[in-house]
Amino acid sequence: MAVNFTLNGKPVSADVDPETPLLWVIRDTFRLTGTKFGCGIAQCGACTVHLNGLTRRSCVTPVSQVGGGTVTTIEGLDGPEAKAIQDAWVDIDVPQCGFCQSGQVMSAIALLREIPKPSDENINQAMGGNICRCATYVRIRKAIHNAADTLASTAEG
């Protein structure tokens, strides 16, 4: 059965079992391998994408649930929040091994789109489901604050 949706701004069609996890479709059907398989049970956040603008763990999302919707992966990020986060990540070298980082970035951007100047508590609540085995949490928090400052200065600018 074909499932139609928008992937990174382009209409796509996947002829797969409707119960296939979205993560499989993203990686195997469309060869977008930036989104990672971590735990497979929605406990680590490595597979986070945006579905209709909100964070979604693609390893526990049947592709049938996406039909007609809009999916954005790490490869398709765009906009001021995405640029601010990417710049902040690079500026302070957030990643260590990097495996979890696409999920971290997806969650961080979703947070900034809703809360442009997040508190530590906002960050804890939004990012608590994204695990980093290298424990880069301190740098992740700092990068989110830096990105928020960049967005604020751009807006004032």
Partner 1 sequence: MKRILFTLAGTVLLATIAGLALETASAADAPAESLKAPAAFESIKDKDARSVALFEEMGKVFTHPRCSNCHPRGDSPRQGMAMHIHQPPVVRGAGGMGAPGMRCSTCHGKENMPFVTGEGSIPGNPAWRLAPAEQGWVGKSLAQICQQLKDPERSHMTLAELQKHNASDGLVGWGWHPGKGRQPAPGSQTLFGELTQAWIDTGARCPQ
- Does position 115 bind partner 1 by CB under 8 A? yes
Stretch that binds partner 1, among 5-13, 37-45, 76-84, 148-156 (CB under 8 A): 37-45
Answer for which of 2, 90, 135, 152 binds partner 1 (CB under 8 A) is: 135
Stretch that binds partner 1, among 6-14, 86-94, 121-129, 146-154 (CB under 8 A): 121-129
- Does position 58 bind partner 1 by CB under 8 A? no
Answer for which of 6, 28, 69, 131 binds partner 1 (CB under 8 A) is: 131
Which residues 6+ apart lie within 8 Å of 145 measured at CB? Answer: 118, 123
